């Protein structure tokens, strides 16, 4: 925007000016002082725009207040796996210590405790302010339970820092609280099919196992869904318990814990001559691998395993390509 246009916009109070037909004039060389003035006017116009946005926010009823962190309680729906390490928290805390809290949290008057508040989002900012011994900046808004969880989920979706399994647990908690499907889909920003997959994983794999593994940020939906299928096998429960009790599992980070558990549940291979039998924990053969000078031939014994393998092939190819690049 040119400086004179910016000046007109400010004078007009931000209203769009009417276009006036004029003859096209040749390009002019703008001198340094004029250019500087134009940039200054443009910045003033941008500042005026920000001021109008802030004024609109204030007129809508939202205002930022400073609250004692001890007066705030967390959301009634957990969206993170408690006890899991958060490598970004210390950086957030240091930033608030150095520059102050730039973004307010969202809270509502506590529905069951007069004089207290309940957080919709901003739990880490609240924790940082509490540990620093500071008040926390907050927007306090009257919210229904549904509005609170939608705001909470929307904030998480925009940050995109929740792992797949944390989103799955969040969905399962909302189901337990009897929220309807449209509200849950709005909170998570997903369609019906994806919501169904999230709930299936969180209800098939027990909360005990999920909490033991942790958020596993590098593990996406396909592998969690595979783990849910493997755990459903009769021998799965025994293998899971043995893995969770191992010292190697306990000492590993969250992504490695998933890998340990996933490997423990994989079907056993039994070699017979040039044929390898792939068996489930129950002893049932699901596929045969036949080795020959020409290569490897896979024969699926069960249609379900055949469909599973076919669905996994594109991902296996991508993993192979990624590994091949890393070896060059």
Is 163:217 a contact under the CB 8 Å cutoff? yes
What is the per-residue burial (b if ≥16 Cβ within 10 Å, else e) of 76-91? Answer: ebebbbeeeeeeeeee
Choice between 30 and 67, residue whose per-residue pLDDT is larger: 67
DSSP per residue, 18-80? PP---------PPPHHHHHHHHHHHHHHHHHHHHHHHHHHHHTT--EEEE-GGGEE--SS--S
Q: Which residues of the chain does CATH 1.10.10 include?
A: 163-266
d(CA 289, CA 278): 8
Q: Which residues of the chain does CATH 3.90.1530.10 include?
A: 61-161
pLDDT digits (tens, 9 = 90+) for 230-244: 887 777 788 898 899
The domain 163-266 having CATH identifier 2.30.42: the answer here is no
DSSP per residue, 276-311? EEEE-TTS-EEEEEEEETTEEEEEESSHHHHHHHHH
pLDDT digits (tens, 9 = 90+) for 126-178: 999 999 999 999 999 999 999 999 998 887 776 656 789 999 999 999 999 89
Residues counted in the chain: 328
- Residue 183 three-state SS: helix
Assign 115 a pLDDT band (cuts: 50, 70, 90): very high
Q: State the Cα torsion 8-10-12-17 to the nearest 10°.
A: 50
Strand-pairing partners, residue 267, are none
Assign 194 a pLDDT band (cuts: 50, 70, 90): very high
CATH number of the structural domain 61-161: 3.90.1530.10
Hunting for tokens 């499907």 — which residue is that? Answer: 181
Task: Give the pLDDT of residue 11.
Answer: 41
pLDDT digits (tens, 9 = 90+) for 44-89: 554 455 445 444 444 455 789 999 999 999 998 887 776 555 667 7
pLDDT at position 12 over 50: no
Query: What does the pLDDT average to over 269-288?
Result: 69
Query: What does the pLDDT average to over 212-224?
Result: 90
């Amino acid at each position: 925007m040119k400086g004179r246009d910016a000046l007109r916009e400010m004078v007009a109070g931000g209203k769009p000016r009417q276009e006036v037909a004029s003859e096209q004039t040749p390009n002019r060389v703008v001198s340094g002082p004029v250019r500087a003035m134009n940039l200054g006017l443009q910045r003033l116009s941008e500042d005026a725009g920000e001021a109008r946005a802030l004024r609109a926010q204030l007129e809508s009823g939202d205002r930022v207040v400073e609250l004692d962190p001890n007066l705030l309680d967390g959301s009634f729906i957990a969206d993170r796996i408690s006890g899991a390490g958060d490598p970004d928290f210390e950086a957030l805390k240091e930033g608030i210590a150095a520059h102050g809290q730039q973004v307010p949290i969202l809270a509502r008057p506590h529905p069951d405790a007069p004089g207290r508040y309940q957080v919709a989002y901003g739990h880490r900012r609240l924790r940082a302010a509490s540990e620093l011994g500071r008040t926390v900046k907050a927007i306090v808004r009257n919210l229904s339970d549904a509005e609170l969880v939608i705001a909470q989920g929307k904030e998480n979706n925009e940050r995109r820092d929740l792992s797949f399994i944390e989103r799955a647990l969040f969905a399962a908690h909302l189901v337990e609280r009897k929220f309807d499907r449209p509200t849950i889909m709005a909170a998570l920003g997903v369609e019906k099919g994806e919501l169904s997959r999230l709930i299936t994983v969180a209800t098939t794999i027990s909360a005990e196992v999920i909490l033991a593994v942790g958020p596993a940020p590098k593990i996406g939906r396909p592998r969690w869904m595979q783990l849910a299928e493997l755990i459903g096998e009769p021998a799965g429960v025994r293998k899971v318990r043995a893995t969770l009790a191992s010292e190697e599992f306990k000492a590993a980070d969250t992504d490695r814990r998933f890998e340990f558990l996933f490997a423990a549940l994989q079907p056993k291979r039994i070699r017979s001559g040039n044929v390898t039998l792939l068996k489930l924990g129950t002893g049932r053969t699901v596929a045969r691998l036949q080795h020959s000078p020409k290569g490897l031939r896979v024969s699926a014994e069960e249609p379900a395993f055949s469909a599973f393998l076919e669905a996994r092939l594109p991902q296996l190819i991508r993993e192979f390509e990624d590994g091949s690049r890393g070896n060059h």
